[in-house]
Structure 1
Amino acid sequence: SRRALYEKRPVVVNSVIENPNPSNGYDWELDWPAILYVPVGEFGQRPVGLLTVGCRRDHWYSEADVHYAGSLGVTLAPMVEALRRPLGRLNPTESEVAQLLSYGLSESEIARAIKVPERKAKIIVDDVARKLRIVSLEVALSLPAVPARRRELRL
């Protein structure tokens, strides 16, 4: 995976021998005989993420598969970058709370999930909401408004 990020190109890793006793744990990459790592980002630019595609059975990725995955990495870059900007301001606890909020959990449920008192959870939720709020009208206006498509019915 580091090689794909360093070289800024897709990298395929194939095992010579399948692992008969998969661990299903920390070393999951050793259990997958075929893995394709694709940097997510513009060509020649520092990647903003890593797309990992794996196969549980012995498999050889064709050149077309690698090219398609590389194109997908470039295509996903703007979306990943757009998500990283606001979420990059959050510390690990706040990131976890943001994810729990996205699932629709209440403050009391979040407090139980992250094992903190409800008052502390409310403070963290408020901090997350403050950090993710659109700061100025200028930023809001820079986001494109997508008009609703209406179809004309002709008889």
Structure 2
Amino acid sequence: MEKIVLPAIINRTTAVRNASVARFNRKNKIVTFDNGSLVALASPILKGALDAKYHGPYKIVGCKGGAYSLLDIRLNELLPKTYPPSALKSVSKEPNLPDDDEKRWEVESIINHRGNPNNYEYKVRWVGFNDDWDTWEPAENFDDADTIARYWQRRGVDDKKTRVERI
């Protein structure tokens, strides 16, 4: 019995353990970040499809117990808690700047809208320009969904009614 059963149990246990480790490694990526790395932080709650999934950039200033401490680069302040690697995403050191052909303009406010709920266009007043320069822009031309959300709040319309339902 000791020469047949116990070695069989040991072999089976080893095979099951190896299969479990292989399954875990396939599904889970263990990511580590060095001090000084730039990362983006996952947003815990998304209000809509146009909300940013990550905010940042933040700088890693320390690691304790697998959780990272982050420094807000814009405010030069340490964030109040630590974050697991699963909530972080590595970002490049140089931000992606638009090409010279792709100009970006700052929105002062949205003046009006037209079209149906699935295909609204918004009349935009641009910063530094008068009303002669107002243009009609589709929602996909906005980099920030908050601009549209503020417009609907100003009009007193519930934001949920204005969202496009996706099947």
TM-score range for the pair, normalised by the shorter chain length: under 0.3
More strand by share: 2
Ranked by relative contact order (alpha carbons within 8 Å, sequence separation 6 or more), the top structure is 1
Identify, as 1 or 2, the structure richer in helix.
1
Structure of higher CA gyration radius: 2
